[in-house]
Amino acid sequence: MAKVGLFFGSFNPIHIGHMAIAGYMKEFTGLEEVWFVISPQNPLKKKELLLEGHHRLYMAELAIGKNESLRASDIEFRMPYPSYTIDTMARLTERYPYDKFCLIMGEDNLYTLHKWKNAEELVRKFPVYVYPRPDVVKPANEILDHLLAVAKIKMVKAPLMEISGTFIRNGIRNGKDMSYFLHPAVWKYIVDMHFYER
- pLDDT tens per residue across span 128-153: 999 998 789 999 999 999 999 999 99
Contacting residues for 16 by C-beta, under 8 A, at least 6 apart: 163, 181, 182, 183
Average pLDDT value for the chain? 94
pLDDT of residue 107: 95
Label residue 96 by pLDDT band (50, 70, 90): very high
Mean pLDDT of 117-133: 97
Could you tell me the pTM of the whole model? 0.94
Amino acid present at 9: G
pLDDT over threshold 80, residue 162: yes
Closest CA to 182 of 172, 174, 193, 197: 172
Label residue 43 by pLDDT band (50, 70, 90): low
Contact by Cβ (8 Å): 16, 182: yes
Mean pLDDT of 49-67: 95
pLDDT of residue 87: 97
Contacting residues for 109 by C-beta, under 8 A, at least 6 apart: none
Domains by residue range for the chain, with CATH: 3-163 (3.40.50.620)
Closest CA to 7 of 121, 130, 111, 122: 130
d(CA 186, CA 123): 33
- Higher-scoring residue by pLDDT: 137, 81: 137
- pLDDT tens per residue across span 8-40: 999 999 999 999 999 999 999 999 999 999 998
